[in-house]
Amino acid sequence: MQLSRFNADLFLRDHWQKRPLLIRSPWTRWRNPLEPDELAGLACEEGVESRLILRDGDALRLENGPLPESRFGDLGSGPWTLLVQAVDHHAPDVAALIEPFRFVPDWRIDDVMVSYATDGGGVGPHYDQYDVFLVQGLGRRRWRVGPKCDAETPLLPHEDLRLIADFEATGDWILEPGDILYVPPGYAHDGTAVGTDCMTYSIGFRAPSRAELVEGWAEHQADALAEDDRYADPDLNAQPHPGEITAPAIDRLHAMVLDALADRDAFARWFGLHNSLPKYAEADWRPERPVGRDMVSALLAQGVPLCRNPASRFAFIRGKDGALTLFADGHGFDCVGDSAALAESLCAGQSVAVDPGLAGSAPVLTLIAALIDQGSLAFEEDDGSR
């Protein structure tokens, strides 16, 4: 599915991280990519993050998955909502929903959450620190959007949900299948199912907080510093008051910290590794047996395409003289020549047809074998092993 009536450049200029936008069915042809029963099945699986939210009058109650299959038969006719996170990791047709939105860089992509709701179901007025495209899949949902919120916005007391206390809508729309609502970070929004079989696909984009970056980068650098790299003051002079921390001492201490964090190239590599870490680190996608370079060579020579694991995160940073570093699932690979070109191709799409002539390239074989062995990549004929 592609967006045929949508101007990405105008959207980025006028709306991205600025204000919400309702986009009425911009698709060439909309087709709902997942059936409600399939979503319910995922919510019953171990290792899949899911939540069930039930409404009782004005009160909302949350249950965390995995859910027993019998739970859905016990729900009755009251309003309820099922939320399943990272459905794109398990359903290729849902993963394909991300493709039309790749005018936003891949490193910003989080996942596709899918919700199913009965009439009146919803999660209440709330706000997130995500950019999100809310794509209506089945049925209808009423979306109300309010003002931008922050840490000072009053919340209702609730053990599990962060619900806005005094929600006042500034926009109110009913979305039909194929319609999209874009909501920037911090904007209050509230979605309520109108009728039965309401499915919404939330394509979310993450942004690291300043605190996350400072903590992660500083911790990474601190781990690499030698124990004997310490403050020194060989030019110390007697000072008038022994209790004072003098300005020269503060300058020297401050410089020690800043110097340890100032290496931009080292920061770039750390961020590539950090940002490409899998969303669910406990998931193990590695094949049962390591693949050998001989097998990789044979399959490349046969023209078998490669496919990325939908749960994997790929990105690269350009270096000098055509070199680049590929990042995949928290691992970094320095690439030049043919392997650099391959790395760019791997970051461009989910499926990659590799030139059979590269079957004899040792750097290419080494890179592909490493990515397969860590579960980030597979040959398409191995798709059934995932």
Which percentage of the chain shows pLDDT scores above 70?
Answer: 98
DSSP string, 190-211: EEEEEEEEEEEEEEEE----HH
For residue 196, give both structure tokens.
């039965």
CA distances 283 to 51, 226, 286, 288, Å, are: 19, 34, 9, 14
| Amino acid present at 72 | F
Quote the pLDDT of residue 52. 97
Do 161 and 193 contact (CB within 8 A), yes or no? Answer: no
pLDDT of 386 reads: 38
The answer to whether 93 touches 32, Cβ cutoff 8 Å, is no
Burial letters 134-170, b for 16+ CB under 10 A, else e: bbbbbbbbebbbbeebeeebeebeeeeeebbeebeee
Q: How far is CA 78 from CA 24, 57, 83, in A?
A: 30, 10, 16
Grade residue 56 by pLDDT with cuts at 50, 70 and 90: confident
Q: How far apart are CA 297 and CA 342, in angstroms?
A: 14
Number of helices (H), then strands (E), in the chain: 10, 15
Q: Which domains does the chain have, with CATH numbers?
A: 8-205 (2.60.120.650), 210-233+242-262 (no CATH), 293-385 (3.40.366.30)
Which residue type does 16 have? Answer: W
Which pLDDT score, from 0 to 100, does residue 201 have? 98
Residue 44 clears pLDDT 90, i.e. is over it:
yes
The token duo for 137 is 């899949």
Sign of the Cα pseudo-torsion (94, 28, 118, 59, in order): positive
Say yes or no to pLDDT of 305 above 70: yes
Q: How confident is the model at residue 384 (pLDDT cuts 50, 70, 90)?
A: very low
Instruction: In whole angstroms, give the CA distance from residue 370 to residue 365.
Output: 9
pLDDT in tens, 141-193: 999 999 999 999 999 998 888 899 999 999 999 999 999 999 999 999 999 99
Query: What is the pTM (predicted TM-score) of this model?
Result: 0.92
